[in-house]
């Protein structure tokens, strides 16, 4: 997702930005009633999310279900243990315990809308 926006439909976009800022050091770039851009800048990379409010019934019906119960987003961090501990302190819902795979450490968690994410790290 480097440089490409990802769109979410959380019921409370402003609350989603607060969670992203607390857990990943993301910054809120722009805000209006319907949309919020959040980004995290690192040397050579920008990760951007568009958090759009679900404002119609058909949108509200799929909040948290955009990926039919599967992992839909991947958050790679440099320090897995520190990120995991920060998320635990923030009472983020973990789907299972962290595990080690050939590609690194991974744990599945849910965001405030119920979407599943993989936290990945070395």
Q: 79-96 pLDDT, tens per residue?
A: 899 989 988 988 889 999
pLDDT at 122 over 70: yes
Tokens of 89: 């302190």
What DSSP line would sit under 69-94, residue for residue? Answer: TSEEEEEE-S-HHHHHHHHHHTTPEE
Contacts 24+ apart (CB under 8 A), 107-112: 108/71, 111/8, 111/10, 111/16, 111/19, 111/73, 112/10, 112/12, 112/15, 112/16, 112/19
Tokens of 31: 């805000």
* Number of domains making up the chain: 2
Residue 103 belongs to some domain of the structure = yes
CATH of the domain at 14: 3.30.720
pLDDT at 78 over 80: yes
Q: Tell me the C-alpha distance between 58 and 23, whole Å.
A: 29
Average pLDDT over residues 99-120: 91
* Res 113: pLDDT: 80
Q: Which residue has the higher pLDDT, 48 or 13?
A: 48
Contacts of 103 (CB under 8 A, 6+ apart): 120
Average pLDDT over residues 34-58: 67
Does residue 78 share a domain with residue 43? no
Domain extent at residue 26: 1-56
Tell me the backbone φ, ψ of residue 16, rounded to 5 degrees.
Answer: -60, -40
Q: What pLDDT digit, counting tens, does each position of 9-45 carry? A: 444 555 666 666 666 665 555 555 455 555 566 666 6
* Res 76: pLDDT: 85
């Amino acid at each position: 997702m480097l440089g490409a926006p990802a769109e979410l439909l959380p019921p409370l976009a402003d609350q989603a930005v607060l969670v992203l800022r607390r857990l990943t050091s993301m910054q809120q770039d722009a805000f209006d009633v319907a949309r919020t851009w959040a980004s995290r800048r690192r040397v050579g990379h920008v990760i951007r999310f568009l958090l759009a409010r679900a404002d119609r019934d058909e949108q509200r019906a799929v909040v948290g279900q955009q990926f039919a119960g599967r992992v839909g987003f991947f958050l790679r961090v440099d320090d897995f243990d520190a990120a995991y501990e920060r998320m635990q302190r923030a009472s983020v819902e973990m789907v299972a315990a962290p595990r080690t795979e050939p590609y690194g450490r991974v744990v599945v968690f849910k965001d405030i809308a119920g979407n599943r994410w993989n936290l990945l790290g070395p």
